[in-house]
Chains A and B, each alone.
Chain A
Amino acid sequence: ETGVTQSPTHLIKTRGQQVTLRCSSQSGHNTVSWYQQALGQGPQFIFQYYREEENGRGNFPPRFSGLQFPNYSSELNVNALELDDSALYLCAYHARRGVDTQYFGPGTRLTVL
């Protein structure tokens, strides 16, 4: 399919805990974006990484942070989890920098109790 993988598939955490979600692409594309999709909503942009640097951020608090590694895989970290953080977290690799087409991974479904 898209060659984008995410782990874990599902995760259950409690309020106040921290979580790390992972994303990688077989294709070696160097730009990755993360999105949060709450139930019944469209995905919302969290941030984007290009060549290991954050390259733009949506309206999310600093407890949402990320990393991109030299192999272009990426992590999303969320500290001090809140109930409203329960959502599907999607990463997407850009076909190439400056091109708007993005290919999504299958997502990680996070439940915060």
Chain B
Amino acid sequence: RKEVEQDPGPFNVPEGATVAFNCTYSNSASQSFFWYRQDCRKEPKLLMSVYSSGNEDGRFTAQLNRASQYISLLIRDSKLSDSATYLCVVTLGGGGATNKLIFGTGTLLAVQP
């Protein structure tokens, strides 16, 4: 079983749509959680951290359910510029090599005009 699993997509949505991505992780000792965004042939860039209390940054809302080992990302009012691959990431935390980033395979989002 993969450590972090995501639906690879692609998700094709019209501009203005709301889209939700889901992710599950296998290690209950995971401590930190992130969503990264990766544009085609570019490096991953941190989109937002994810907390159990949920957090929101403009049109983006992330949620963590530790009991279900489930992470979500909601994008409201999709823009053409949101088209990218969204990577779900966890770490075991604790410093040292245990804070290596463990990535899912990514979900491809294509926002259509």
Contact = CB atoms under 8 A, between A and B. Distances in A.
Contacts of B43: 90, 104-107
Contacts of A101: 34, 46, 49
The prevalent SS among residues of A at the interface is strand
Nearest to B104: A42
Interface in A43-100: 43-45, 48, 50, 55-58, 88, 90, 92, 94, 97-100
Given A42-B87, A44-B103, A100-B32, A56 B98 contact: yes
A31 to B, nearest CB: 9
B98 A45 contact: no
Interface stretch (B12-20, B69-77, B89-97): B89-97
Interface in B82-113: 87, 91, 93-106
A104 B45 contact: yes
Interface string B51-76: 00000000000000000000000000
Contacts of B31: 100
A102 to B, nearest CB: 6
Nearest to B8: A40
Place the interface of chain A in its size category.
20 to 34
A28 B57 CA distance: 29
B1 interface: no
B83 to A, nearest CB: 17
B100 A58 contact: yes
B93 to A, nearest CB: 6
Given A40-B105, A42-B4, A43-B103, A103 B97 contact: no
A94 B99 CA distance: 9
17 contacts: A42-B4, A42-B103, A43-B44, A43-B87, A44-B103, A48-B96, A48-B100, A55-B96, A56-B96, A56-B100, A57-B97, A94-B99, A100-B93, A101-B46, A104-B44, A107-B43, A109-B41
Interface of B: 4, 8, 31-32, 34, 41-46, 49, 87, 91, 93-106
